[in-house]
Amino acid sequence: MKILGIHDGHNATACLYDSGRIVAMASEERFSRNKNQSGFPRLAVQWLVDEYAITADTLDAVAAAGLATPMQEFGTQSGPWYRLASSLSRVMPSKLMASPALARSYLALRGLGTPRSRQLARHLAPYGVPESKIRLVEHHTCHAHAAYWLDFHRSPEPTLVVTLDNTGDGACGSVSIASGPNEFRRLESYQSLQSIGMMYTAITRYLGMKPIEDEYKVMGLAPYARSAQAERVYEILRAHLHLSPDGLDIVNRTGLWEDAYVQRFQRELAGFRFDNVAAGVQRLIEELVTAFLKAWSRKTGIRKLAVGGGVFMNVKLNMLINGMDEFDQVYFLPSCGDESNSAGAALKCAWDLHRAAGKEFTPEPLGPLYLGPAFTNQDVEAALASHGHALQWRKSEDVERETARLLADNLVVGRMSGRMEFGARSLGNRSILARADSLNNVRKINAAIKMRDFWMPFAPSVLAERSADYVLNPTKSLAPYMILAFPSTALAATELIAGLHPFDLSCRPQIVERDWNPKFHRLLACYEHITGVGGVLNTSFNLHGDPVVCTPDDAIETYRQSGLDVLTIEDYVIWDDHRLDPPMAGRPRH
């Protein structure tokens, strides 16, 4: 069974489900070179068609995330629900707007699916895909099915599946119970005015940052705040959004929508320093979500949890959830914003088709995220040839060992190897790497390459065999995706200091297992052999404001425009001797 999954909203993405697993997935931005590219993911679909020889005859279905056209550019171009609810919120009583009945009524308007299917069919016409093969999947159903079916903890026992985000198809969250291949039952849905994510996005806008993109900056800023001022901000925000007495419902007490939130904050938060505002909203979100999860655990008695939706991109919140006594196991869907909804749509569609055919549905869990394009040495040579004499390069006999030596020599290296990773985090194959025991590398990378805000932390990639030396992980949670933060050890504060949060020394690691990425694991092992340190600083291979590199041409162009010391692409080491002292010729290769 083959299903093409599509998310055509903000950060548009396409994936291919084939015979029980997601075999490929990539976001449109990586091909278009336009950060968080919205709309139909034309280039990503074309890559899938070319790479996997997809035809209309070989596809069982096309699964599209969203009953209505999803939001694309937040704050400028909004979907129909956003416009409708924003208008209604100005004239209707807040209690009525906060009622889930309004959202259920909206979602019952299945007629919205007809023009949407036709619109998608026009995009798919070049591939001969008929409208009859298009299936529309509700937004939070996509989040929920991705979180459950891709969970590497999945088992026949019941799992509480919770989704929370800004908004999609008139909803901001859902709670479901999933059990084995047949049961997936929604217990509750929350309409958009109840959105916890919307509050966080409104604060992001209020602070002058880009909504639905810079929320991670708010999270990174929060630890710097002074507690007394942050407490006052928290109390102001809590007057707007809180939980019902039983903790099972989210209550928007003032009935404000995102635009109105921002306008109100301009009055209520005037005079509060930006870090205190960030800390206030971070505390509120942590308090609301953890109490909400406790209440649903208490009501259902279920001790397994899987979560999806953009709220759970907040790694500090995830750190608290991971330590909750109410759950024995928690699965945090990696890159769980809307970009993962292409996979959720495909999985929900596959589940439906299996049930209709009387077959059991047992898809493979997600595993490693290396689901994008890969390139050969011949592709690298062709890209290098087009750059003439601007750079020097050679083929390495052992590029992982040589890269480890360059890192040990305190050079900053851009690394491109194998299949591109999916999602928001660099996981070694499209990464900028540096020694993590030198804070000078933070300043160097920020000044010459990333141009990041001064308060933002970097993250480390750590050998699985050494993870206990660096992070405090009493629940022994797997952490391969940089979606979880942990308190760090005293040794990490020395050996990985450049990969920790500068203020609270928390750590958002990629724990690298040998089986998940043998080449990157070997690079780290070689580096440990040379230096005794079991991890390196790892940040995404891109310039500030650009998408992560995809092709050899992208990597070379990023190297030329940045202050990177050395570039490695597949088996090639590439450099500009004007940047190196001593030059490359004077350095050992192994």
Q: Residue 581's CB: how many other CB atoms inside 10 A?
A: 7
**Beta-carbon contacts of residue 588 (< 8 Å; ≥ 6 apart):** 405
Distances (CA, A) of 238 to 244, 251, 586: 12, 10, 61
User: DSSP alpha helices (H): ranges in 424-570?
Assistant: 440-445, 467-470, 492-495, 518-531, 552-561
pLDDT band of residue 94 (cuts 50, 70, 90) is: very low
CATH T-level assignment (fold) for domain 377-586: DHBP synthase (3.90.870)
Q: What tokens does 129 get?
A: 């895909």
Residue in the structure block whose two tokens are 């979602």? 107
Percent above pLDDT 90 for the chain = 83
On average, the pLDDT of the chain sits at: 92
Residue 38 and residue 67 in contact, taking contact as beta carbons nearer than 8 Å: no
pLDDT of residue 134: 97
- pLDDT over 50 (residue 543): yes
pLDDT band of residue 338 (cuts 50, 70, 90) is: very high
Q: What tokens does 54 get?
A: 């997809």
Domain ranges of the chain: 377-586
Residue in the structure block whose two tokens are 């480390």? 460
pLDDT of residue 182: 86
- pLDDT over 70 (residue 79): no
Q: Residue 529's CB: how many other CB atoms inside 10 A?
A: 11
Per-residue pLDDT tens for 481-498? 999 999 999 999 999 999
pLDDT of residue 114: 54
Name which of 305, 59, 337, 351 is nearest 158 in CA terms.
305
**Beta-carbon contacts of residue 480 (< 8 Å; ≥ 6 apart):** 368, 427, 510, 511, 512, 513, 516
Mean pLDDT value of segment 469-473: 97
- pLDDT over 80 (residue 105): no
pLDDT of residue 453: 80
Residue 86 and residue 96 in contact, taking contact as beta carbons nearer than 8 Å: no
Per-residue pLDDT tens for 229-285? 999 999 999 999 999 999 999 999 998 888 899 999 999 999 999 999 999 999 999
pLDDT of residue 448: 81
pLDDT band of residue 70 (cuts 50, 70, 90) is: confident
- pLDDT over 90 (residue 465): yes
* Cα four-point dihedral sign 426, 431, 437, 440: negative
Range in 71-80, 89-98, 315-324, 345-354 with the lowest mean pLDDT: 89-98
Burial (CB count within 10 angstroms: exposed 0-12, middle 13-18, buried 19+), residue 308: buried
**Beta-carbon contacts of residue 517 (< 8 Å; ≥ 6 apart):** 368, 370, 418, 427, 428, 429
pLDDT band of residue 390 (cuts 50, 70, 90) is: confident
pLDDT band of residue 74 (cuts 50, 70, 90) is: low
- pLDDT over 90 (residue 86): no
Name which of 274, 277, 282, 287 is nearest 316 in CA terms.
282
Mean pLDDT value of segment 448-475: 91
Mean pLDDT value of segment 77-103: 46
Residue 343 and residue 18 in contact, taking contact as beta carbons nearer than 8 Å: no
pLDDT of residue 452: 80
Per-residue pLDDT tens for 106-119? 444 434 445 899 99
461 vs 492: CA distance, rounded Å:
12
pLDDT band of residue 14 (cuts 50, 70, 90) is: very high
103 vs 224: CA distance, rounded Å:
38
**Beta-carbon contacts of residue 101 (< 8 Å; ≥ 6 apart):** none
Q: DSSP 3-state assignment of 239?
A: coil
Per-residue pLDDT tens for 154-173? 988 999 999 999 999 999 99
pLDDT of residue 72: 65
Per-residue pLDDT tens for 173-221? 999 999 988 899 999 999 999 999 999 999 999 999 999 999 999 999 9
pLDDT band of residue 87 (cuts 50, 70, 90) is: very low
